Structure 1
Amino acid sequence: MKFEVTILGSSSATPIFNRNPTAQALNINEHLYLIDCGEGTQQQMLRFDIKASRIDYIFISHLHGDHYLGLVGLLSSMHLNGRKKALYLFGPPHLKEIIDLQLKYSETTLQFPLEFKVTDAKKAEVIVNNNDIIIETIPLDHRIDCTGFIFREKKRLRKLLKEKLEQLNIPVEYYTALKKGNDYTANNGVVYKNDTLTIDSDAPKAYAYCSDTLYNEQYFSQISNVTLLYHEATFLNDMLDRAKDTHHTTALQAADVALRTHAKRLLIGHFSARYKTLNELLEEARSIFPATELAIEGKTFVIE
């Protein structure tokens, strides 16, 4: 199953040095999920061939402008392009008020249903549970209410050992039961154990998106052992006091989060506009967590 994330924006606060405010497109089994929608997200989607018509879910972490100011424009474009199917939007309670106000004064009535679901920044909760994925909110510690999101693959059915099944002439109609873990009883009464006919599917993968947050152990247990951890890393650690004042994280702290939560890989982003180049941030994080990469815009990271 395809499970990958494309970076559309990785700047904090303002667009600068060819970096745009935060947005990511997550592809799970050819279904697209948009995470945050900063200014310029539509242009980035066009640039990197992310089709808005394929997005059915949008997640907004909080109401600082660099995470949602591109949203109304995107909704308007979907409307103008004739979208009819429902769009599911998850975000803080006042986000709907902001959207309604802008649509009201532009005298716009969306042609498609906008299903708005309020997120609760005080507790973790499952907000999507479909055939492919379970999505939970992650309560974070920012200057205003803010949630991250964790995307967990569902456990797949067991894999059939086709050669073994063919050797035993097991009818195809039994294959589904075998995938579900059932044993097979032949016509002569011989029982073939499931683990001799199938193998376990791959371990479910998980992607954790930790948006703006102060370094805080409260969310560590929820993101433990994820396949890929995206964590904001706004500053270098020599600006730790500034990070604390603004409720952000340094690159060194983001790496420490990955280390302590046993993440397989770390992706850092949300870079301060003070940094024209990002090598120092990467080197700082890799000093304690080598499996770190930069959230470079246009780059797609396979979650595996």
Structure 2
Amino acid sequence: MIELVVLGSGSAVPTRERNHPSVWLRYMGEAFLLDCGEGTQRQLALAELSYAKIDIVCITHWHPDHALGLVGLLHTLETESVARTIHVIGPDATRNVNGFMASAAKSEKADIETMDVPQGGGVVRETPYYRIRAFPTLHNVRSYGYVFEEKDRWHYDMDKVERMKIPVRVLEELRQKLVINYGDRRLAIGEVAERIHGKKVVYTGDTLPTENTIEAAKGADLLIHDATYLEKREDKYHSTAEDAARVASAAGVKQLMLIHFSKIYADARAHVAAAKKIFPNTIAAEDLMALKIV
């Protein structure tokens, strides 16, 4: 299960209803932030989530509305003597964190590890259970979206396992290798287990609609896409609600969440209505909205 809480659904200028962009995600006990705009710590408090349990922060780009909250987060970890490793991933993450951010926070107790996203994107973190992949987006500075993918797993049919008298140690080897020599035959994992496909969440950050996003989002359970405007404003390098819906449709995602709404709109009802004409399963991000993907 992947849990998400929208901490901020606004854009460059916050409003009473919408904070700067940030999405909290939790999977198997690890907590992640997708962007960390100014005020993210307070939003965590309002959502009753702990700043001290953040493991990884993925920054899409270094515009203040997406990254300025990182300074405060690192400073709080220092002030509260939170001894833990926090991983910061982003374009030029090392230079930015070790420069103006780290100098402001001066965190000694929080162990900060940075990873610079490669120029063309790629896998930026991988464990036996999930991977995080960055992909280039199209904004007015270097920027990346992120794909959070739960790895496929296998559910063993224990009746078959017992009938074939397969020991536990062999099951583990089979899980890792998928096909093994067992007795006098080759044994494939599909003979004794069912594949459970992993869940997938995609977050774009700021971007115009691109083929990169369509490719990255293919088959996603949830696409969280920039929908700053209702009318085209390509000079701002942001998407409209209709742009986001077309990307969602082309990628064959299950659900689209619009995010990063401009302060010029009182609410997102018109955005959702416009998007639903193209992609019916559309919702609008709202601050402190919680979702579970199971």
Superposed counterparts of 1:190-269, under 5 Å: 194-200=189-195, 202-236=196-230, 239-240=231-232, 243-269=233-259
- Following superposition, the deviation at residue 246 of structure 1 comes to 0.4
TM-score normalised according to structure 2 size: 0.90
Contact 2:179 2:186 in 1 (8 A): no
Q: State the shift of 1:168 in Å.
A: 5.7
Q: Does 1:136 align with 2:130?
A: no
Residue aligned with 1:225, SS: coil
Q: 1:134 to 1:190 in 2, by over 3 A?
A: closer
SS in 1 for 2:197: coil
Query: Is residue 24 of structure 2 the alignment partner of residue 28 of structure 1?
Result: no
Q: Which amino acid aligns with 2:27?
A: I
Question: For 1:230-287, what per-residue CA distance to the aligned partner results, in whole angstroms no more than 9, with x for missing partners?
Answer: 1010011xx21xx211000000110000001111211110001011121111111111
Query: Against the structure 1 CA distance between its residues 36 and 185, is the aligned structure 2 distance closer, same or farther, given a 3 Å change threshold?
Result: closer
| 1:124 equivalent in structure 2 | 121
Contact 1:184 1:194 in 2 (8 A): no
Change (3 A) 1:53 1:216: same
Q: Distance in 2 between matches of 1:211 and 1:256?
A: 17
2:225 and 2:48 map into 1 onto residues whose CA distance is 25
- Structure 1 residue 279 and structure 2 residue 281: aligned? no
In structure 1, C-alpha distance between the alignment counterparts of 2:53 and 2:237, rounded to whole Å: 34
1:178·1:198 contact (CA, 8 Å) conserved in 2? no
What does the per-residue CA deviation read over 1:157-198, in whole Å, with 9 as the maximum and x for residues that have no partner? x21112344456555454434545457968xx7998754432
Q: Answer yes or no: is the 8 Å Cα contact 1:133–1:151 preserved in 2.
A: yes
Tell me the secondary structure at the aligned position of residue 114 of structure 2.
Answer: strand
Larger Rg: 1
Gapped runs of 5+ residues in structure 2?
A: none
Aligned to 1:163: 159
State, as a whole percentage, how many aligned pairs show the same letter: 29
2:75/2:107 contact within 8 Å kept: no
RMSD: 2.3
Structure 2 counterpart of 1:219, one-letter code:
T
Q: Deviations over 1:78-131 (max 9, x none)?
A: 11121222211112325222213424xxxx4421221122224x4122111122
Structure 2 CA distance, aligned partners of 1:287 and 1:198? 41
- Residues 1:203 and 1:191: Cα distance change in structure 2 (over 3 Å): closer
Give the whole-Å Cα distance in 2 for the aligned partners of 1:193 and 1:223: 30
Q: Distance in 1 between matches of 2:34 and 2:25?
A: 7
Gaps of 5+ in 1: none
How many residue pairs are counted as aligned between the two chains?
Answer: 290
| C-alpha distance 190-5 of structure 1, shift in aligned 2 (>3 A) | same
